[in-house]
Amino acid sequence: MVFADLFFLYGFLPLCLLCYYFSKKLSTKNTMLVLFSLVFYAWGEPTYVLLLLFSAFFNWYMGRIIGHKEQHPVDAKLTLAFAIVVDLLLLVVFKYTGFLVGNVNGLFHWEIPVPKISLPIGISFFTFQAISYVIDCYWETVKPQKSFKSFLLYLSLFPQLIAGPIVRYSVVEKEINSRTVTAADINEGAMRFIVGLAKKVIIANNLYAVVGQLFGDVNSGGYKDISGLSFFGTWFAVICYSLYVYFDFSGYSDMAIGLGRMFGFHFDENFKYPFICKTISEFWQRWHISLSSFFRDYLFYVPVFGRPRKYFNLFLVWFCTGMWHGASWNFIFWGLYFGLFLLLEIKLGKKRMKKWPRVLTHIYSKLIIIVGFGIFCFSDMTQLGNFFTNISGASFFFREGYQFTDTISWSICLKNIFLVLLAIVVSMPILPKIKQFFFEWGNNVIYTTGKIAATVGCLYLLIMSSILLVDSTNNPFLYFRF
């Protein structure tokens, strides 16, 4: 089941809200959320819901053992190591087995059958949440949860279960068994959800359609041969793809945060307008914050051979960041690509980069980011090579008759220029400034006008999104496959 679906919007979610709000005791509300979350997951993954339950019980039990660290410090350390190994092993088996076997066959010319293992939706997210929980229990930054139902609620909560953000236990620890939902929570949560829905349905889906006309169905591996795609066409397509990934994933995060708010949970922000960054370091402080902070806190400072090793750990973090995104070499290249520029910025120093003209820093960061999304896009190495040849302008020298632009790309650009401009504008922090003007002015008339405008605007976005979903049969989020 996905959020951008009419059944979810007008069937599952209203029923869940009714059962939740009509339950009087918080324990009953939690039970309702657990049941609906398991149904939500089992809707598309009826078998793998058992894997989710196993992961929840296993890590809950490991946390309980680690909780006796003072009495049994050695056992606690061994338990932590065992828990992390089992969690990562499950992730490797289900996500990377085919990739590893395929590469071993290619390297040693063996013929080991490549197993066909379907990827459990959301396994990367709930596995990392489980790992963060057991580590935090060992570090004593959180107290081990005594109730399995409460821990299961944390791990399986449907707003963030299948595509994040990676919610740490410390963020919701108190709210699991002690929270209230006010009218303001419901209102703000619903509006945040609708804005996220509009990002996905109105902007992301249409941007993906543009990408499909030039690059092919990249999410399913149905790439077009782009060797003949013009210089302009390649740049236009990858810019659209960059915006698509942002609106698809940030739209989901907005919906997850909004849903969580409606149930009394306050998740951390996962995106903070990343395209306004001036450096790659700043980009990753604004993009997929829950993932980058996870690797920063749990991997970057890990001692290697007795002490933290800055540059080795930086390489390790970005190798893992790439691997986390998918079992394909392009994701590894993508992670190391960003790691290389982060290393470059460390060497240059923040003070030196601050002296650069602002225009130059924006051009530098956007070029690196957009090219990076091109690497992210193509798991087919042939087409990835064609992409680099096109976008660098090398095709002018290596391909006879190669064009700066072409009729088809130019026509597609003209037809969708307003969509792209809208996406660029919405990706900037303009709407928050408008909201701030209406809601923080201190004038009752302006405040009331802003509230009415926001309500009418959200209703319009909901209606438009619902209309677009009528003829749409499949609206998966990109990060479902990670």
C-alpha of 393 from chain center: 32
**Chain position carrying tokens 């902070």:** 293
Q: How far is CA 41 from CA 35, 37, 162, 414, in A?
A: 10, 6, 8, 41
Rounded Cα distance between 346 and 366, Å, is: 18
**Chain position carrying tokens 């210089």:** 231
Rounded Cα distance between 346 and 456, Å, is: 47
Query: Which residue from 139, 262, 125 is spatially nearest to 191, judged by alpha carbons?
Result: 262
Number of H helices and E strands in the chain, helices first, is 23, 2
- Residue 173 CB coordination number (10 Å): 18
In contact, 83 and 58? CB cutoff 8 Å:
yes
Rounded Cα distance between 457 and 41, Å, is: 31
In contact, 290 and 262? CB cutoff 8 Å:
no
* DSSP secondary structure code for residue 30 in this structure: H
CA Rg value for the chain: 24
Over 292-336, what HEC string results? HHHHHHHHHCCCECCECCHHHHHHHHHHHHHHHHCCCHHHHHHHH
Q: Which of 68, 266, 288, 325 is catalytic?
A: 325
**Chain position carrying tokens 């907005």:** 254
Residue 412 structure tokens: 């597609």
Rounded Cα distance between 338 and 280, Å, is: 8
Is-catalytic flag, 72? no
Residue 479 structure tokens: 């990060």
How many CA atoms does the CB half-sphere of 29 hold within 13 Å? 20
Residues labelled as active-site residues? 325
